Amino acid sequence: MDLGAITKYSALHAKPSGLILQYGTAGFRTKAEHLDHVMFRMGLLAVLRSKQTKSTIGVMVTASHNPEEDNGVKLVDPLGEMLAPSWEEHATCLANAEEQDMQRVLIDISEKEAVNLQQDAFVVIGRDTRPSSEKLSQSVIDGVTVLGGQFHDYGLLTTPQLHYMVYCRNTGGRYGKATIEGYYQKLSKAFVELTKQASCGGDEYRSLKVDCANGIGALKLREMEHYFSQGLSVQLFNDGSKGKLNHLCGADFVKSHQKPPQGMEIKSNERCCSFDGDADRIVYYYHDADGHFHLIDGDKIATLISSFLKELLVEIGESLNIGVVQTAYANGSSTRYLEEVMKVPVYCTKTGVKHLHHKAQEFDIGVYFEANGHGTALFSTAVEMKIKQSAEQLEDKKRKAAKMLENIIDLFNQAAGDAISDMLVIEAILALKGLTVQQWDALYTDLPNRQLKVQVADRRVISTTNAERQAVTPPGLQEAINDLVKKYKLSRAFVRPSGTEDVVRVYAEADSQESADHLAHEVSLAVFQLAGGIGERPQPASDGEGTPH
């Protein structure tokens, strides 16, 4: 390590003294103007991680669904996964070290993790369309360079595209080519082959309106469009040409406000979807003939996908184990439908895709989605081989199913939840099954629900167990929630500290919207009283239709 050079360059990316940030569920996230030193230091850390794993490491500059003024950074581990937990701690230490302690922390990490400093390092970098992202990604590059790492700057990418690049590079090209054309080709080839098998499906099935949250998804979808044009026609809205990123649009807005985005005209029964700001989340929706808005969230996406996969497996005659992974935010109706009607085992993990991803890896086929639309399906290597063999050997009908499965495996991003890839899978399934958006929606009816946020002095006073469904501390809180829940039918509620914002999140569902709103409000008051609420006391939801959390 050239300590002199590190000190010199670090001074050019100096940390505002006293600023403390935490590597959360999605990396570091805050106002962009506070992040320059964090970017530089994550460049340094990525080099150490690359040397330790002898693999390419990714660094993504984005704040996803958060406001345009924010930014963030996260590291991507060798197989496209989120950073290992011990390294998340190192990231927090390094980001918070005052200038004069930075070198010592860097050396500590290298020693603790037995990093061979002579080893080569390679880092790939991507960024979203935020005005601050270009400069911040340059700071990452400064950090990489000063520690002697090699790098490739992909420039503008969706988050899942960067995960894809990392995965490709660390699997010797077997997964795909680590270029943007490689990504487009792999996905669109699988999509076109798959949809060729659809017997029905005229135009009405094949056109889709996409709200791109004024983000990177618009750019990438436009680039990709001509690769799959025979199979699907997409109409892009909120493409960044005028509106502000994530403002009154995008998957997070649509899901949390339970209403359509601005800037998109929706005719009745038209199929629409929204991406978030870095295109790793997707939700669908439509207006029915009476003008009512219907949201099709991650839970219903997981249901469509897992039921289709199960059907294909039955057709091929393979008894592979398939599991669905959700979080506590999954709508109770979805869990019930999956378990009782579809007879698919369902598992619940803590919030944050790394937990879901990890659990999904335990199955031959693991489908995981957060209710907010972040998810994918994972296929074990053994399954992939079995399916490839079946596609060669089986008789006609079975072979067709095996071929479809083969294409679906290629179409899913195995490295991360990916709005583009999920969209193509969903469109293919709808076409193959001849399903309209209403028929898909009718699989089950969501229980009315409400999410709220409560400000407390220190959200760490709340600790949880049972995949965040029960509060362990502060004392008395869970008992209070239990008593409130008893007052309503088909009800459920839980609270947890957010991993990305300084708030406690409250979730409630019940048999009517009114009950869900009441329950959520009452639980918020319990949190406010028992967990050290600050500021104004939580107010009841002012209307029945989608007051934000």
Residues near ligand NG1 (CB under 6 A) are 25-26, 64, 329, 351-352, 370, 372, 374, 498-501, 505
Q: Is 460 annotated as a binding residue?
A: no
Q: Is 298 annotated as a binding residue?
A: no
What are the Cα distances from residue 514, in Å, to 193, 232, 259, 372? 47, 40, 17, 22
Instruction: Choose between 76 and 387: whose C-beta lies nearer to ligand NG1.
Output: 76
In the block, tokens 């050019």 appear at 12
> By beta-carbon distance, which residue lies closest to ligand NG1?
499
Q: In the complex, what is the shortest distance from the CB of residue 520 to ligand NG1, in angstroms, rounded to a whole number?
A: 13
> How many C-beta atoms surround the C-beta of residue 11 within 10 A?
9
Q: In the complex, what is the shortest distance from the CB of residue 497 to ligand NG1, in angstroms, rounded to a whole number?
A: 8
Instruction: Give the rounded distance of the alpha carbon of 305 from its chain centre.
Output: 17
Q: Taking a C-beta distance cutoff of 8 angstroms, is the pair 95, 37 a contact?
A: yes
Q: Is 142 annotated as a binding residue?
A: no
Q: Which residues contact 429 (CB under 8 A, 6 or more apart)?
A: 304, 305, 308, 435
Q: In the complex, what is the shortest distance from the CB of residue 113 to ligand NG1, in angstroms, rounded to a whole number?
A: 25
> How many C-beta atoms surround the C-beta of residue 536 within 10 A?
8
Which SS3 state, helix, strand or coil, does residue 190 take?
A: helix
In the block, tokens 């992939």 appear at 384
Q: How many residues bind Zn ion (CB under 5 A)?
A: 4
Q: Taking a C-beta distance cutoff of 8 angstroms, is the pair 368, 358 a contact?
A: no
Q: In the complex, what is the shortest distance from the CB of residue 373 to ligand NG1, in angstroms, rounded to a whole number?
A: 9
Does residue 199 carry a catalytic annotation?
no
Q: In the complex, what is the shortest distance from the CB of residue 448 to ligand NG1, in angstroms, rounded to a whole number?
A: 17
**Among Zn ion, ligand NG1, none, residue 278 binds (CB under 5-8 Å by kind):** Zn ion
Residues 142-161 touching Zn ion, rule: CB under 5 A, are none
Could you say which of 10, 17, 55, 64 is catalytic? 64
Instruction: Choose between 64 and 258: whose C-beta lies nearer to ligand NG1.
Output: 64
Residue 239 in the binding site for Zn ion (CB under 5 A): no
Q: Is 108 annotated as a binding residue?
A: no
Q: Taking a C-beta distance cutoff of 8 angstroms, is the pair 496, 464 a contact?
A: yes
What are the Cα distances from residue 75, in Å, to 30, 132, 166, 316, 443? 16, 18, 11, 39, 38
Q: Is 276 annotated as a binding residue?
A: yes
Q: Which residues contact 245 (CB under 8 A, 6 or more apart)?
A: 67, 68, 129, 130, 213, 214, 215, 277
Here the tokens at position 284 are 């669908």
DSSP state, 231? T
Radius of gyration of the chain (CA): 23
Residue 370 in the binding site for Zn ion (CB under 5 A): no
Instruction: Choose between 192 and 456: whose C-beta lies nearer to ligand NG1.
Output: 456
**Among Zn ion, ligand NG1, none, residue 300 binds (CB under 5-8 Å by kind):** none
Question: Length of the chain in residues, anyone?
Answer: 549
Q: Is 261 annotated as a binding residue?
A: no
Cross-strand pairs, 398: none
Instruction: Choose between 177 and 549: whose C-beta lies nearer to ligand NG1.
Output: 549
Instruction: Choose between 75 and 121: whose C-beta lies nearer to ligand NG1.
Output: 75
Interface with Zn ion (CB under 5 A), residue from 278, 427, 441, 522: 278
Segment lying near Zn ion (by CB under 5 A), choices 88-96, 98-106, 278-286, 450-458: 278-286
> By beta-carbon distance, which residue lies closest to Zn ion?
64
What are the Cα distances from residue 319, in Å, to 305, 312, 315, 443? 17, 11, 10, 24
Q: Is 370 annotated as a binding residue?
A: yes
Instruction: Choose between 316 and 416: whose C-beta lies nearer to Zn ion.
Output: 416
Q: Is 330 annotated as a binding residue?
A: no
> How many C-beta atoms surround the C-beta of residue 487 within 10 A?
12
Q: In the complex, what is the shortest distance from the CB of residue 159 to Zn ion, in angstroms, rounded to a whole number?
A: 6
Q: Taking a C-beta distance cutoff of 8 angstroms, is the pair 313, 322 a contact?
A: yes
**Among ligand NG1, Zn ion, none, residue 201 binds (CB under 5-8 Å by kind):** none
Instruction: Choose between 251 and 523: whose C-beta lies nearer to Zn ion.
Output: 251
Here the tokens at position 96 are 């918070």
Burial-class residue 353 by CB neighbours within 10 Å (0-12, 13-18, 19+). Answer: buried
Q: In the complex, what is the shortest distance from the CB of residue 371 to ligand NG1, in angstroms, rounded to a whole number?
A: 7
Interface with Zn ion (CB under 5 A), residue from 52, 64, 170, 326: 64
Q: Is 372 annotated as a binding residue?
A: yes
- Which residues of this protein are in contact with Zn ion, per CB under 5 A? 64, 276, 278, 280
* Residues flagged as binding site for substrate: 370-372, 496-500, 505
Could you list the active site residues?
64
Q: Which residues are annotated as a binding site?
A: 64, 276, 278, 280, 370-372, 496-500, 505
